[in-house]
Amino acid sequence: LKKMEKLYRAGIEMNGQIVVCPGWNDGEQLERTLSDLWERREGAQSVALVPVGLSGFREGLTPLEQYDAPRANAVLEQMERWQERCLKEGGTRFVFASDEFYLIAGRPLPAEETYEDYPQIENGVGMLRKFEMELEEALLEAPKGTQRGRVFTIPTGVSIAPWFREMTGRVGEHTGARFQIIPVPNDFFGRSIVVTGLIVGRDLIRALSGRIEGEALIIARTMLRENGDAFLDDMTLQEVQETLGLPIHPVWVDGEDFVKLVLSL
């Protein structure tokens, strides 16, 4: 807190992230943390709550657990109480939960306006709602039925697969395309890792071999390193493409870009 106050006095505004760990910094500890940050809201602009992600390689490390639905719901309920208070006292919800918390809890995503101006989108807060809104707007202008008979395979992280089936279902109804969504278990980092951005080349090959339908494979651009076309296991996009035997089209997590890609294939 002293360091935060020093930064604020220097004119630096902060947007923080709390990696919430069950039994460690949730519950009463999270209440204390949010209270401390809200008291310093002139410098702390917003806070994201993100569930801890645990790899399969934790031998000798502090025992930690992952969130299940009841515990995730408890965090969301606590956050919603804080949002009500902050909105009343300061005109902003201030604290936001990552999309992953809603997926774990089995809850629908909040309305778009609750994300305000998406201050925490780089921490995965509101990314799915924003994608949905972009997708719906793009479909309003997209021609109908032009992709009838076209089939595309899309690998995703395990957690997001049901939601993405719903999104591609809307695109399919409008364009006529059909989508096969394949959740990819993560053996490289461990099966407890369920997000799309950490899927690697060898896991793609293992999960998709013999299961691909259609003319092309669409993947999230976030699977690849920021610079270049390599996955996190150093396999290249070309290597995976040659192994699977069909073209791979990376696309950013952007609903409009996704619709445009489908219409262009």
pLDDT, residue 215, reads: 86
Q: How far is CA 253 from CA 38, 111, 200, in A?
A: 31, 19, 17
Q: What pLDDT does residue 68 have?
A: 95
Q: Which two tokens stand for residue 29?
A: 């500890």
Q: pLDDT (tens digit, 9 = 90+) per residue, 102-143? A: 999 999 999 999 999 999 999 999 999 999 999 999 999 999
CA 225 from centre of chain: 16
Chain Cα centroid distance, residue 208: 21
Report which DSSP code applies to 157.
-
Listed as own residue / partner, the contacts of 163-169 with beta carbons closer than 8 Å and 24 or more positions apart are: 163/103, 163/128, 167/131, 167/132, 167/135, 167/255
Neighbours of 116 (CB within 10 A): 16
pLDDT greater than 90 at residue 227? no
Query: Binning pLDDT at 50, 70 and 90, where does residue 44 land?
Result: very high
Whole-prediction pTM: 0.92
CA 14 distance to own-chain centroid: 22
Q: Average pLDDT over the chain, rounded to whole?
A: 95
188 backbone dihedrals φ, ψ, rounded to 5°: -70, -50
Number of other CB atoms surrounding residue 113 within 10 Å: 8
pLDDT digits (tens, 9 = 90+) for 138-162: 999 999 999 999 999 999 999 999 9
Helix (H, G, I), strand (E, B) or coil at 81: helix
**What is d(CA 264, CA 242) in angstroms, rounded to the nearest whole number?**
22
Unique residue bearing structure tokens 């109480």:
81
For 57-90, the three-class secondary structure string (H helix, E strand, C coil) is: CCCCCCCCCCCCHHHHHHHHHHHHHHHHHHHHHH
Q: What percent of the chain has pLDDT over 70?
A: 100
What is the rounded average pLDDT of the residues 204-211? 95
